Amino acid sequence: MVLERDFRATLKKDLESVGCCVFTIHGHVFQAAGWPDIQVYHPCWTGHLELKVGGNTATKLQKWRMLELRKRGTPAYLLDLTGEDLVVLNSEEVGIMRLAGWRNDTDHKRRTKLLLIALRFASGVVMSLKDFDIYQWGERNGISSQQIADVVEFLRNPEV
């Protein structure tokens, strides 16, 4: 079984490999508890991620903190790595999407870029903005328009 710290280290490395600026948050005596594990900054998606493995659940304080962040317009999600699949949940731990086989996808950059696209759509961000076109970004980063369309279709009809 994967440990949460190993999942965090791998995800951080993968996100940085596709151009994300990633900050990890470690709870300690000088910091308020309940903050999500990592903050991600990228033109495709910016937000907070709480990481869990094996179906572990967020604490009441973590759920509250994610909800408060979302009320203030900042996306915050819980990522649960269960077996081979990566499940994205909202602050109430309701499944939004499942990225099947995510852990075993050996193309780490592709799977990470697909995660960013999925998070962008889950956050309700429109597909194309004046300064950012998700399809052009995907094509420049080796993700076909069909793969993006598949993610969009999946988000419309989740199987979580």
Residue 7's SS3 state is: helix
What is the CATH number for 77? 3.40.1350.10
* pTM of the model as a whole: 0.78
Answer whether 123's CB lies under 8 Å from 75's CB: yes
Q: Count Cβ atoms within 10 A of the Cβ of residue 83 and give its class: 0-12 exposed, 13-18 middle, 19 or more buried.
A: middle
The CA distance from 92 to 41, in Å, is: 23
Q: Which domain holds residue 95?
A: 4-156
Mutual angle of helices 108-122 and 4-17, in 10-degree steps: 90
What digits encode the pLDDT tens for the residues 128-137? 444 456 667 6
Count of domains observed in the chain: 1
The CA distance from 56 to 69, in Å, is: 21
Q: Residue 55: left if φ>0, alpha if ψ -120 to 50, beta else—which one?
A: left
Tokens encoding 6? 């190993």
Tokens encoding 124? 């309700």
What digits encode the pLDDT tens for the residues 75-127? 999 999 988 888 888 777 777 777 878 888 888 888 888 888 778 777 765 54
Amino acid at site 23 = F
Q: State the chain's mean pLDDT as an integer.
A: 80
Answer whether 112's CB lies under 8 Å from 14's CB: yes
Residues forming beta bridges with residue 86, ordered by sequence position = 81, 99
Question: Is 127 or 155 the better-scoring residue by pLDDT?
Answer: 155
The CA distance from 133 to 49, in Å, is: 23
Question: Is 95 or 160 the better-scoring residue by pLDDT?
Answer: 95
